[in-house]
Structure 1
Amino acid sequence: MNAPPSRPRSPSLREAIAHRFSLLDDKADDAEIDRSLRAGVELRGATPWILMLAIVIASVGLNTNSNAVIIGAMLVSPLMGPIVALGYGIGIFDFALVRRSLANLAIAAGISLLTSTLYFMLTPLDEAQSELLARTTPSLWDVLIALAGGLAGIIGQTRREKSNVIPGVAIATALMPPLCTAGYGLANGDWAAFGGAFYLFSINCVFIAFAAVVVIEFLRLPHRKFLDPRRERHVKGALLAIVLLTGLPSIYLAARLVDNEVFKSRARDFVRKEFKVAKVHVLDTRLTPASHEIEVTLIGPRLPVSSIKAIEARLPAAGLKHARLSVHQAQAADTDKIDVGGLKAELLADIVRNNQQALQDKDAAIAALRKQLTGQRGWIDQAAAVTREFEAQYPQCGNVLTGRAVPAGEGQGAPVPFLSADCRRLPRADEVKRINAWLKVRTGSGVVRVVLAAKRGNIVRSAPTGAPSLAPAETD
């Protein structure tokens, strides 16, 4: 009798978790990973042009404080290729690839600095916007972003099915904006901005490459072997030293940033709570974390010196032990007061007056246009009546055209009424004079032009009116 087939053993919890988080299941072939990572090293052909255009886009975005433009530039940027290839070369001990990656990364950084420096030297917008200043003070959080972004990027590039990880990493790690900010520092001689921005770019490069080394080592991709194990230890030690030397200053900067933000938060709360005095309003608060200075400008009745000293004595209890308080008051005596309601009413009255004046100017412009339009319509009716009367008096003339025109060469001169017609028989000279006199009376103008023509065979004869040539303006 056959034994029943045994049930497959259920995986343990540890095995299930290991399988779910395994990076080996959907890993691409080693040759495909090698080919993909090496392909992004070179900076030739269209790539330098794309890099320069991306730098221009990012510089414009920083100059105009536009997040959308900056993000677009980071999506276009080809800077990730040499950095990831650098980490890959270190991970597999391919020092020829490391040298090529460093050379191309240096060329890319040089092109980026040159392009951004030229832009900021030529742009008329020379004010440093918040997006630009944000790239001058790197901290530990930038290290964490670069490390996490680098890990995500290299994991995405080693998969069989490529995803949109690389564009996301390019946006998160922000390689382009620091180079543009460094260019701004060079263009304006701001060496602090240049140093901070270039340090942020260095943090991104080092920790993205370090993340690539970690993942390459974890995936155990084929790498060259050192004949001397000590040399391998020296290479790894040098890499670790570079990472530490790059990251350690960011820890200090992060601590300083945290201290500054804590100081600002406590100082704002202190000012808000301590200056809740009747009829006294805080007009402005300026905080200087570096010197622990709190500068407050007040309007309203002047506070006595004793009151300000009492407020200043409460600084240590609010966690502002080393802070200095400076108070500026708008009034010079206790009896002086500012009527805030009256001030608001006066401002509102000024706004209303300005709006009324603008409305009056618009009404005047509309009235002038209406008058002009009414006069134009009146002339059209008059011109139609003149045409009918002329045809009734001279039935031998047709194609009658009545209008107003500016005589040639007179530029913006007043339009002159004119009448032209084709006649089977030209009127006599005395009749032409009578037509001129009639047209002056009929149009109320001291100057008119009459042009009469007769066609016999191929010959056109005009009545002798002595009229100069006209530039047509308005006709009926």
Structure 2
Amino acid sequence: MNRILQFINLNHGEEDRKKVLENVTANTSFRGSNLWILACAIVVASIGLNVNSTAVIIGAMLISPLMGPIVGAGFGLGIFDFALLRKSLKNILIATLVSLAVSTIYFYLSPFKETQTELLARTAPNIYDILIAFFGGLVGVIAITRVEKGNPIPGVAIATALMPPLCTAGYGLAIGNFKFFFGAMYLYIINCVFICIATFIIIKYLKYRPVEQVNPKRQKQVRYAMTALILVLMVPSIYFAFKLYEEKKFNEKVNRYIESEFTSKGYTIIYKNTKYVSNPHTIEVAFLTKKFSHDEILELNEKLRRYKIDNSRLRIRQDTTDLKRDILNQIGSEKAAINEKDIAIANLKKQLQSSKIDNARILPEVKILFPAIQNISIAGHQFNEGTDSTKTVCVMLYKASKNLTEDEKEKLATWLKQKLQVKEMEIYGQLLAKPKTRRK
């Protein structure tokens, strides 16, 4: 048993406690460079939320110095250093106000105010966020008290996610959506409090010596205050987690019901929407061709109970004219685009085919008309003269035993235009080299 306890003992590899306290106290301050780093990190995180980029948000969390005063508050409570606690709380407040101001200004000035999924994810905290903050805080404090800090610190900064909720709260202020603001601030407070509580527990476990002797009454007051704060934060988050669980169960039952009653019977569903927040819950579906009578709809509503879908109403949209029109218009536009592509490809093929000239077939005819010509090469060339239209010119290169006169070239060009059905023809010639004679 002792060997097991020694194996999990946190005192092994512990940093000098005086040095740990000095580092924690130094990191609680928000002045000068720390304040500038915080403001820049807030802008980066806001941009990441604005463009829905997870990588950018993670980068902002890594450079954020927000963890410092929160851990400082936990240390202050753990060793009853109320001066450190007051300083940490003051700096948390400053950091929060600066972050809110910067993010609000950014989102107010940003032309893109669409609510992205990364923003929505920070507006409805639940019990899982408490667990993440608490266990992430435990890892962070354990790493701070070690000689070898290792890799946990960056991971804790990402997991506990202090920056995104503050930026989301600023977004809520910028667009005037106070539901977003309060939901994000609630998540931010949860993270702060439970990181602080995790720090308090580790400090007590490691038995850091209190800075000053406090009477038992004061210690009880601190414990009671922390217990009350934990309950105040946990009760709403447990409720939100329960509602999230219920909604997921509801959606699973609805999907199973639709699969059994409609999809498996060959009915094509063109629209489906579930509204869990309404009372009763609403399930809306529309079909491509199937029409249901009033009695059939009543029977389908009765079947909801068999799938344990309580307090719900099925609504079938029978008049799907608008939906069908939208679908057909989309199909029509896609088909038109495909047809345009086919026409363009056919025209290109036609142009390539027309520009392909059989020199071997034309050469014998040319030799009959102009015996001096021994070899030819004819090709069509397209070029743009600075306008949207292209011009095609045929060019003929020939080799002959003697030069053609201008009249002969003109006759040859006229004949080739008629033969090849082209409007432009250019002719260029070259004399064949005379063979060298050997002297005996």
TM class, shorter-length: 0.7 to 0.9
Please tell me whether residue 60 in structure 1 is matched to residue 47 in structure 2: yes
The aligned residue for residue 239 of structure 2 is 252
Please tell me whether residue 352 in structure 1 is matched to residue 341 in structure 2: no
The aligned residue for residue 6 of structure 1 is none
Q: C-alpha displacement at 1:123, in angstroms?
A: 1.1
The aligned residue for residue 180 of structure 1 is 167
Please tell me whether residue 48 in structure 1 is matched to residue 63 in structure 2: no
CA contact (8 A) 1:138 1:196 kept: yes
The aligned residue for residue 94 of structure 1 is 81
What SS does structure 1 have at the residue aligned with 2:383?
helix
Please tell me whether residue 273 in structure 1 is matched to residue 260 in structure 2: yes
Q: C-alpha displacement at 1:276, in angstroms?
A: 3.0
The aligned residue for residue 322 of structure 1 is 311
CA contact (8 A) 2:382 2:393 kept: no
CA contact (8 A) 2:136 2:156 kept: yes
**Counterpart-to-counterpart distance in 2, 1:73 and 1:270:** 44
**Counterpart-to-counterpart distance in 2, 1:87 and 1:362:** 73
Q: For 2:286, give the aligned amino acid.
A: T
Q: C-alpha displacement at 1:350, in angstroms?
A: 2.5
Q: C-alpha displacement at 1:184, in angstroms?
A: 0.6
The aligned residue for residue 130 of structure 1 is 117
The aligned residue for residue 32 of structure 1 is 19
CA contact (8 A) 1:30 1:222 kept: no
2:102 corresponds, among 102, 115, 134, to: 115
**Counterpart-to-counterpart distance in 2, 1:364 and 1:67:** 49
CA contact (8 A) 1:302 1:330 kept: no
Q: C-alpha displacement at 1:158, in angstroms?
A: 0.3
CA contact (8 A) 1:296 1:328 kept: yes
TM-score, normalised on structure 1? 0.70
Please tell me whether residue 103 in structure 1 is matched to residue 115 in structure 2: no
Q: For 2:158, give the aligned amino acid.
A: I
How big is the alpha-carbon RMSD for the aligned residues of Structure 1 and Structure 2? Answer: 3.0
CA contact (8 A) 1:149 1:173 kept: yes
Q: For 1:322, give the aligned amino acid.
A: N
Q: Cα–Cα, structure 1 residues 315 and 144, in superposed 2: closer, same or farther, change >3 Å?
A: same
Q: C-alpha displacement at 1:44, in angstroms?
A: 1.1
The more displaced of 128-137 and 291-300 is 291-300
**Counterpart-to-counterpart distance in 1, 2:97 and 2:69:** 14
Please tell me whether residue 163 in structure 1 is matched to residue 150 in structure 2: yes
The aligned residue for residue 215 of structure 1 is 202
**CA-to-aligned-CA distance 1:351-395 (integer Å, 9 cap, x gap):** 4213235558989999999334799999xxxxxxxxxxxxxxxxx
The aligned residue for residue 7 of structure 2 is 20
**Counterpart-to-counterpart distance in 1, 2:331 and 2:53:** 37
**Counterpart-to-counterpart distance in 2, 1:18 and 1:113:** 45
Q: C-alpha displacement at 1:84, in angstroms?
A: 0.5
Q: Cα–Cα, structure 1 residues 48 and 359, in superposed 2: closer, same or farther, change >3 Å?
A: farther
Q: Cα–Cα, structure 1 residues 358 and 126, in superposed 2: closer, same or farther, change >3 Å?
A: farther
Q: For 1:159, give the aligned amino acid.
A: R
Q: Cα–Cα, structure 1 residues 117 and 351, in superposed 2: closer, same or farther, change >3 Å?
A: same
TM-score, normalised on structure 2? 0.75
What SS does structure 1 have at the residue aligned with 2:243?
helix
Q: For 1:246, give the aligned amino acid.
A: L
The more displaced of 291-300 and 65-74 is 291-300
Choose between structure 1 and 2: higher helix proportion. 2
Q: C-alpha displacement at 1:348, in angstroms?
A: 6.2
Please tell me whether residue 303 in structure 1 is matched to residue 292 in structure 2: yes
**Counterpart-to-counterpart distance in 2, 1:301 and 1:30:** 74
Q: C-alpha displacement at 1:125, in angstroms?
A: 1.2
The aligned residue for residue 269 of structure 2 is 282
**CA-to-aligned-CA distance 1:377-432 (integer Å, 9 cap, x gap):** 99xxxxxxxxxxxxxxxxxxxxxxxxxxxxxxxxxxxxxxxxxxxxxxxxxxxxxx
**What runs of 5+ residues in structure 1 fail to find an aligned partner?**
1-13, 333-337, 379-476
Q: C-alpha displacement at 1:167, in angstroms?
A: 1.1
**Counterpart-to-counterpart distance in 2, 1:108 and 1:244:** 25
2:67 corresponds, among 51, 60, 80, to: 80
What SS does structure 2 have at the residue aligned with 1:315?
helix
What SS does structure 2 have at the residue aligned with 1:370?
strand
**Counterpart-to-counterpart distance in 1, 2:97 and 2:154:** 22
**Counterpart-to-counterpart distance in 2, 1:289 and 1:352:** 40
The more displaced of 358-367 and 219-228 is 358-367
Q: Cα–Cα, structure 1 residues 76 and 358, in superposed 2: closer, same or farther, change >3 Å?
A: farther
The more displaced of 113-122 and 345-354 is 345-354
**Counterpart-to-counterpart distance in 1, 2:266 and 2:340:** 30
**What runs of 5+ residues in structure 2 fail to find an aligned partner?**
356-379, 395-440
CA contact (8 A) 2:382 2:392 kept: no
**Counterpart-to-counterpart distance in 1, 2:107 and 2:23:** 36
Q: For 1:300, give the aligned amino acid.
A: T
**Counterpart-to-counterpart distance in 2, 1:357 and 1:182:** 53
Q: Cα–Cα, structure 1 residues 364 and 163, in superposed 2: closer, same or farther, change >3 Å?
A: farther
**CA-to-aligned-CA distance 1:151-204 (integer Å, 9 cap, x gap):** 000001000111121211110011000001000100011010000000000000
2:383 corresponds, among 367, 371, 375, to: 371
Percent identity, please: 41
**Counterpart-to-counterpart distance in 1, 2:229 and 2:165:** 20
Q: Cα–Cα, structure 1 residues 264 and 277, in superposed 2: closer, same or farther, change >3 Å?
A: closer
Q: Cα–Cα, structure 1 residues 243 and 362, in superposed 2: closer, same or farther, change >3 Å?
A: farther
Q: Cα–Cα, structure 1 residues 253 and 363, in superposed 2: closer, same or farther, change >3 Å?
A: same
What SS does structure 2 have at the residue aligned with 1:24?
coil
2:184 corresponds, among 197, 200, 214, to: 197
The aligned residue for residue 375 of structure 2 is none
Q: C-alpha displacement at 1:312, in angstroms?
A: 1.0
Q: Cα–Cα, structure 1 residues 365 and 70, in superposed 2: closer, same or farther, change >3 Å?
A: farther
**Counterpart-to-counterpart distance in 2, 1:107 and 1:322:** 47
**CA-to-aligned-CA distance 1:55-77 (integer Å, 9 cap, x gap):** 11111111111111111111011
Q: C-alpha displacement at 1:230, in angstroms?
A: 1.3
**Counterpart-to-counterpart distance in 1, 2:167 and 2:344:** 44
